[in-house]
Structure 1
Amino acid sequence: MAVTMCQVMGFVLGALGLAGTIAATAMDMWSTEDLYGNIVTSVYTYSGLWRSCVRQTSGFTECRPYFTILGLPGLFQAVRALMIVGVLFGAIGVFIAIFALKCLRMGNMEDRVKATMTLAAGVMFILAGICAVAGVSVFANLIVTNFTLTTFTSSDAGVFAGGYGAGGFGGIASAPLTPRYTFGSALFVGWVGGGVLVVGGIMMCMACRGMMPERDRYAGTAYKSATHSAIYRSEAKSRPNYDESFKAHSMEGRRSNQKFDYV
């Protein structure tokens, strides 16, 4: 019962993690514009892996997909590839885990086959979670790097304008000249989805150990060397035990020393 519950929980967590990874891959809010210190708040910009969007305070939103592939940075394309591979691994793991469930009977499938399929599904979940977490982390590193560079450049421009400007123009010039971007909601969804996938894969691997038949789990037999007393005892049993009754009788009726009967 415990093995079945562990397998079912691993399957449910893997399916939820796959759904979170798919949602994070399709979401547009991977990076959102940081409005702190920005004097223009009527326009809000955010972007994802497939398109960038602009939303106004009136509620009107316009999105534009990335029409080029070669013009995108290499790390950005690597993030795309990692997320797609994670979704594929997760989908394969869910497909295998459906047929490997112990509570479902698929013909005359043996427990050993189900245990192997459960292990394969667990490995797929773990690989999918690692790909999702890695892709989201690489994109987060890109956001942090660009945010730091934008802040450094804007502060230098603000100091320059404050030194040579007049009155309150220095405060206006100290605002970011280019929009800065921070973490979007898709990053957190991707992190959670990848972590849930890894946990589900570990639970599936743990269930595989309990599903293995006893003869496969303990296939080897212990070797026990024979002791000296056993050797002597076996040699003593192998010797023929001749009794006096087996002695042949002589012609005169007396017992002979010969131990053979003549027929």
Structure 2
Amino acid sequence: MVLVSAKVVQRWALFVSFVGLVITFVTTFLPLWKTLNTDLNEMENWYEGLWHTCIFQDEAGMQCKAFDSFLALPPDVLASRVLMIVSIGTGIVAVGVAFFGLEGVDLGPGRQGLKRGLLILGGVLSWVSGITTLLPISLVAYVTVVEFWDDTVPDIVPRWEFGEAMFSGWFSGFFLVIGGTFLFVSVCMEDHRQHVSLPDTQEKPRTPQYLKTEVL
């Protein structure tokens, strides 16, 4: 008895991938990748993302400013921008492709092979989207840790720390990878179901049949 069908797994995979895509999109433009708080003014917090640097003050609220020059960006921020844009693009294509491969979406008669290929392509693209989300998050985290423990910087200088957007980025990357994995699992389940439901083509031994005759 099958507790979970391939159809259910496909829909959960698409849902998880879509949630990961939405979180990735929000994370890309949030100015909360890194946070900084100075001991001299505890009422003032600094935040930095891939596009803006923001300062939060209790009296003035949040004020953000975009980076002055694209060419003057640090290498990790520039690489992270590119990778996150790639992640969003591949994630959108992955969700769209996987949707047309779902059971219940009619593409016409005799298109099961095409639907299977769409699910596999959606899973691959979802993996690519998840990996290209995890890479920039991990890169910025690595640079932040290295700069935090840099002995050449005086202790009086405030250090950047992890912001909330980095944790949401890790979650979104894992969601996209898990969603792609579920798509592969659904394909394997459907292949197994079709293999089991195939008729037995082996020849069965014939039972001898006798002609009943009566002697008059």
Query: Normalized against structure 2, the TM-score is what?
Result: 0.83
Residue in structure 2 matched with residue 190 of structure 1 by the alignment: 169
Partner of 2:209: none
**TM-fit CA distance, 1:82:** 1.1
State the match for 2:121 in structure 1.
120
Counterpart of 1:207 in structure 2 is: 186
Superposed displacement of residue 152, structure 1: 5.3
Map of 1:18-37 to 2, 5 A cutoff?
18-35=21-38
| Alpha-carbon distance in structure 1 between the residues aligned to 2:154 and 2:67 | 27
Aligned residue for 1:120, secondary structure, equals helix
> Structure 2: how far apart are the matches of 1:53 and 1:69?
17
* Aligned-partner Cα distance in 1 for 2:171–2:10: 20
User: How far does the alpha carbon of each residue in 1:58-107 deviate from its partner, in whole angstroms, 9 at most, with x for none?
Assistant: 14222110131111122221111111111111110011011111122233
* Structure 1, unpaired ranges of 5+: 156-175, 223-263
User: How far apart, in 1, do the equivalents of 2:60 and 2:18 lie?
Assistant: 34
- 2:110 and 2:135 map into 1 onto residues whose CA distance is 36
Identity %: 27
- Count the aligned residue pairs: 195
Do structure 1's residue 43 and structure 2's residue 22 form an aligned pair?
Answer: no
Aligned residue runs from structure 1 range 169-180, under 5 A? 176=156, 178-180=157-159
Does the 8 Å CA contact 1:116/1:208 hold for their aligned counterparts?
Answer: no
Q: 2:146 matched to which residue of 1? A: 145
Matches of 2:76 and 2:34, distance apart in 1: 15
1:2, 1:152 → 2: CA distance? 58
Cα distance, 1:209 vs structure 2: 2.2
2:19 aligns with 16
CA contact 1:32–1:183 (8 Å) conserved in 2: yes
Task: Supply the AA of the counterpart residue of 1:101.
Answer: L
Q: Secondary structure at the match of 2:8?
A: helix
Contact 1:20–1:193 (8 Å) recurs in 2: yes
Larger-gyration structure (1/2): 1
Deviation at 1:192, TM superposition (A): 0.1
Q: Distance in 2 between matches of 1:52 and 1:85?
A: 22
State the TM-score, normalized to the length of structure 1.
Answer: 0.69
Shift in CA distance, 109/19, structure 1 to aligned 2, threshold 3 Å: farther
Q: For residues 92 and 108 of structure 1, what CA distance do their matches in structure 2 show?
A: 24
Deviations 1:204-239 (A, max 9, x none): 011122334847xx9xx99xxxxxxxxxxxxxxxxx
Cα RMSD (Å): 2.2
Using the alignment, how far apart are the partners of 2:110 and 2:13 within structure 1? 21
Aligned twin of 1:67: 68
Q: Post-superposition, which runs of at least 4 consecutive aligned residues in structure 1 deviate over 2 A? A: 106-109, 151-155, 209-215
**8 Å CA contact retained: 1:115, 1:209:** no
Deviates more, 1:186-195 or 1:49-58: 49-58
Contact 2:37–2:44 at 8 Å: present in 1 too? no
Which whole-Å CA distance do the structure 1 matches of 2:154 and 2:77 have between them? 24
Distance 1:73 1:65 in 2: 14
Structure 2 gaps of 5+ residues are: 203-216
